């Protein structure tokens, strides 16, 4: 069974709280049942029957809950073997961190868009600034161009040939 949640859903004042479903609570106190919490890669990180057996990021563990120092994907497993019945269940807590930027996060795309938007705005600003400078300096530019044209000896000869009858 998968439980999809956000880090905000399980965040508490003591850490991130993973709670066992009420449907399983009647099995958690059964001495014929073994419970364990595993990291996403399958490592055992907590055993409710031995509260001293905890590995980072686990802060505390009991038969119905686990508290971690940071938000992570976890697997909970309960296996009950008795002469009367056999019961097992695995619950995968799939969490989505809405505040951190991770490679698969929508936030990463949003941050990239913000940088892209900033570059576009900078480019538009530079183009507008250059256009404004050209507008302010248009008279000076046209006088300089006229002077360059009047100083060109080829242009003077061409204009004299055009004036001759």
Q: Per residue in 99-132, pLDDT tens?
A: 544 444 444 444 444 555 667 778 888 999 888 8
**In sequence order, what are the residues at sequence separation of 6 or more whose Cβ sits closer than 8 angstroms to the Cβ of residue 88?**
77, 78, 79, 80
What pLDDT shows up at residue 120? 74
State yes or no: pLDDT of 25 exceeds 80: no
* Rounded Cα gap, residues 8 and 148, in angstroms: 71
What pLDDT shows up at residue 115? 53
Higher pLDDT, 48 or 9: 9
DSSP H or E stretch at residue 99: none
C-alpha 16: how far from its chain's center? 19
What pLDDT shows up at residue 110? 47
Residue 27 banded pLDDT, cuts 50, 70, 90:
low
């Amino acid at each position: 069974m998968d439980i999809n949640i956000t880090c905000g859903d399980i965040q508490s004042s003591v850490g991130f709280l993973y709670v066992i479903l009420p449907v399983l609570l009647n099995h958690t106190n059964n001495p014929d049942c073994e419970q364990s919490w595993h990291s996403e890669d399958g490592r055992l990180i907590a055993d409710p029957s031995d509260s001293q057996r905890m590995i980072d990021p686990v802060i505390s563990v009991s038969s119905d809950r686990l508290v971690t120092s940071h938000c992570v994907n976890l697997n909970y497993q309960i296996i009950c073997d008795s002469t009367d019945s056999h019961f097992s269940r695995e619950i995968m807590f799939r969490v989505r961190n809405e505040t951190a930027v991770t490679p698969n996060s929508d936030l990463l795309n949003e941050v990239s868009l913000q940088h892209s938007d900033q570059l576009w705005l900078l480019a538009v600003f530079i183009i507008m600034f250059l256009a404004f400078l050209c507008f302010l300096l248009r008279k000076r530019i046209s006088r300089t161009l006229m002077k360059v044209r009047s100083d060109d000896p080829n242009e003077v000869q061409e204009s004299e040939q055009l004036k001759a009858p």
